[in-house]
Amino acid sequence: MPTWKALPILSSDALSSVAYGTQEILLELGTVGVIAFYYALPIALAILLLIGVLIISYRQVIEAYPEGGGAYKVATKNLGPAWGRLTGVSLMIDYPLTVAVSISAGVQAITSAFPASIPYIIPLTIILVWIMVWINLRGTSESGTIFALPTYLFILCMLLLIGKGVFQIATGGVHVASTLKAPTVIPAGLTLFVLLRAFSSGCSAVTGIEAISDAVPHFRSPSARNAKSTLLRLGILLSVIFGGITVLSLAFGIHPDPTGNTSVLSLVTEKVFGRNWVYFVTQIATMMILTFAANTSFNGFPILASIMAQDKNFPRMFKNRGDRLSFHYGIITLGILSSFLLFVFHGKTDNLIPLYAIGVFLSFTLAQSGLVRKWWRERNKGWRRRLVVNGIGAVITFIVLMIFSVTKFLSGAWMVVVLTPILLIAITKIQRHYDSVASELRIDLDDPLPQRGSVIIVPVAGIHRVVAETIAFAQTLSPNVVAFYIAFSDEEVHRMEEKWEQWNKGVRLVSFVSRYRTIVRPLIEFVERIESRRSGTETVMVLLPQFVPKKWWQRLLHNQSAWRIRSILLAKKDVVVATVPYHLHEVKVAPGETHFK
């Protein structure tokens, strides 16, 4: 992948978050009053510093793991499996949130431009998610170029916007709003807590930076160097656009829309360009880059699930990266989770932000700590500098994590704080279970195979073609075949036994009058009887015929009891259950009885 293609594909997540970063800061400061808006500037500055730290730290991640790191791998390798699992959990929580936040912000760009769409926010977001699901299920191998275009269009729009806006301010073309001037006194109510809350909200603009370090092998060689320079370019672009939008929104005196229907970015764009075609192009480019940002999660989640499943930290069905179905499970799971989030939080970015960055910063912290450990252990050339850089990164991201968790706790962060340990326990249990199964299954290659015989039970409901074929098949498998008949009355038994006698194919019929008015229990009891009589040296197999009809609705007309018998027998007894399919041919019968007379 050449860097001109890698930049848009891998940084859509990071770049797109400028679409809501400034807005979230202003919304928090707005709880104090318009006069507090000015403090968005120092906060934005702090976030730019944070971006700088992260860029430098992650350049070192690229150096350390040129084969593509990923926080889960870095933490597992350097801190141990338990910390790796914690990282995995935080990423697992993060992926659906990224989808939900990006899609909701994308729809916000639409509702900003076309207010008529406001009543349809929730359906719009959920439809977008499932379009993503559908595209990803079909496979996106050749989609690189498609993704490149809108990202460059977005970057172009943003640079144009900032350029024209700054030019207007510099030339005095607009009246600079009072919000850009520092208040002479600290506004009443503007506590440190509020500032930290606003800072936490702004940190949502930092998410997505790690994507490049996860995908180093995809870069054109020399891949590590190309990845590093791409990361640097991303950092510069991100800083310019985020800083620019923040300054412009203060200069133009933008007030964020508390209903969340119109985005701050839309308000700024409208002030600078007017509501003309450039404005609409910008909104559409914003929507598109945000949708592609969501798409990066659809790429990342199945890969993470697969890696974690390989480490037995996630259900096995997600495991095979080669198997198309494993991937499908991952994509559909992500689609369901993010649709759920969008539904519960009414498809509004502002509602989702308090949950968003915890997972990101937890994984940042753990990945950096892992690297610190690695440098310390290896102590190669230049390890001290590297250790210091990642150490600072780890400490700073940890502090942000703490700030975020505390200041946003009541507005929603508690959900993530509660969910994380629960999920951690769950995947630990999963791992223990798989370990225990593996140790149970292990055998010595020299052990002989167990020697057993077999008894075959064929439940019969009468004498017809399917019964005959099943009995014949059973006789090829074992000399011990028993037919088992359940009746609800003695007359039925008598009739059946007589007919069986007449048929006489050398198979013993055991009849049973069900006292329980059910079929399954007598069968289980019969199996138990056979097991006890044969002193357990023989495996019991039950052959159940199953009709395979030609049309789907005909399935509802057959096999209900076979299906039930099968699942109960397997769950309760050590019995092999074989299903003998009988494909119905649908012979036409005389329709005499089916017409009105």
Cis peptide before 222 (omega within 30 of 0): yes
Give the residue with the Cβ less far from a copy of itself, 324 or 381.
324
CB under 8 Å to 440, separation ≥6 — which residues? none
Rounded Cα distance between 384 and 390, Å, is 10
CA distance 160 to 277: 14
Peptide bond into 315 cis (omega under 30): no
Closest CA to 100 of 71, 122, 67: 122
DSSP for residue 165: H
- Cβ atoms < 10 Å from Cβ of 525: 12
Nearest distance from residue 9's CB to a copy of itself, in Å? 23
Least CB distance from residue 482 to a copy of itself, whole Å?
16
179: number of Cβ within 10 Å: 23
CB nearer to a copy of itself: pick between 353 and 569: 569
> Taking the complex as a whole, how short is the minimal distance between the CB of residue 337 and a copy of itself, in angstroms?
16
CA distance 548 to 466: 12
Q: Distance between CA 308 and CA 317 in Å, rounded?
A: 11
- In the complex with a copy of itself, the residue whose CB is nearer, 259 or 537, is 537
Shortest distance (Å) from residue 46 CB to a copy of itself:
31
In DSSP notation, 224-277 reads: HHHHHHHHHHHHHHHHHHHHHHHHHHHHTT----TTSSS-HHHHHHHHHH-SSH
Q: Which is nearer to a copy of itself, 97 or 527 (by Cβ)? A: 527
The answer to whether the Cα torsion of 352, 355, 360, 361 is positive or negative is positive
Q: How far is the CB of 567 from a copy of itself (least distance, A)?
A: 10
CA 25, 282, 122, 210 dihedral sign is negative
Q: 112 or 431, CB closer to a copy of itself? A: 431
Q: Least distance in Å: CB of 88 to a copy of itself? A: 14
Nearer to a copy of itself, 323 or 378 (CB): 323
Smallest distance, a copy of itself to C-beta of residue 478, A: 7
Instruction: Compare residues 168 and 478 and give the one whose CB is closer to a copy of itself.
Output: 478
> Are the C-beta atoms of 397 and 203 separated by less than 8 Å?
no
Q: Output the smallest distance, CB 93 to a copy of itself, in A.
A: 19
SS (H, E, C) 300-348: HHHHHHHHHHHCCCCCHHHCCCCCHHHHHHHHHHHHHHHHHHHHHCCCC
Nearer to a copy of itself, 277 or 596 (CB): 596
